[in-house]
Amino acid sequence: MSSNKKTIIVDLLRHGQPEGGDVLRGRIDHPLSETGWQQMKSVTALQEEFPFDESGPVWTDLITSPLQRCRQFAEFVSQQTELTLAIDEAWQEIDYGKWDGMLLSDWRKEAAYQFREFRKDLSKLAPPEGEDYLSFKDRILGAWDAIAAKPDGSHVLLVTHGGVMRVVLPTVLGMPLNRSFPLHIPFACLSRISLVVDDDKVSASLLSHNATIK
């Protein structure tokens, strides 16, 4: 029986530091700060004075969340690389509802009970008037599964959010989603994942985490 084995590489990139201060961001649409721009350019080795060329990373696909803190940099990459940019709402951060935009110091107090319960049961995290965690998880994993349909040799740059990465990375690593807190995902965190698809079986491996493209 013949095999339809293929390999896909995904560079999963969290946005850099946004403007707006130390607040909780779900659908709040703050742009990148100057620091955030530099973080993103540094980690991908893409600078204004350093055009994408044969010595740089070769991506075949470029996907972004529509929120400015992701989309702005993805548009810059698209200009540098001449790649077509796919803006996909499925890769947005969780909708925090009434919590969105709160000072993090206030939010940690407000949400403390839900997060204590979340450590026991994923269904217990449900931001008021927002998106419950189980729906968020299903949205992200559905979009993640779709990447496996790309052709052999694809190399995807996906610009997204910290909460999104806290679904994808623990899934790849076999960690419980409500026990991922020790996993450090700073601004402009870059993780590289290999997907090996053999007929209907998909195997994922984390190749690097919080790295810089050389």
pLDDT tens for 143-175 read 999 999 999 999 999 999 999 999 999 999 999
Structure tokens at 187: 């601004």
All structural domains of the chain: 6-208 (3.40.50.1240)
Q: Among 124, 168, 161, which Cα is nearest to 28's?
A: 161
User: CA torsion 87→62→138→24, rounded to 10°?
Assistant: -70
From first to last of its 214 residues, the chain has per-residue pLDDT tens of: 456 899 999 999 999 999 999 999 999 999 999 999 999 999 998 876 555 556 566 899 999 999 999 999 999 999 988 899 999 999 999 999 999 999 999 999 999 999 999 999 999 999 999 999 999 999 999 999 999 999 999 999 999 999 999 999 999 999 999 999 899 999 999 999 999 999 889 999 999 999 988 6
DSSP class of residue 28 equals -
**Is 57 in contact with 213 (CB distance < 8 Å)?**
yes
**Is 159 in contact with 39 (CB distance < 8 Å)?**
no
Residues 6+ apart with CB under 8 A from 54: none
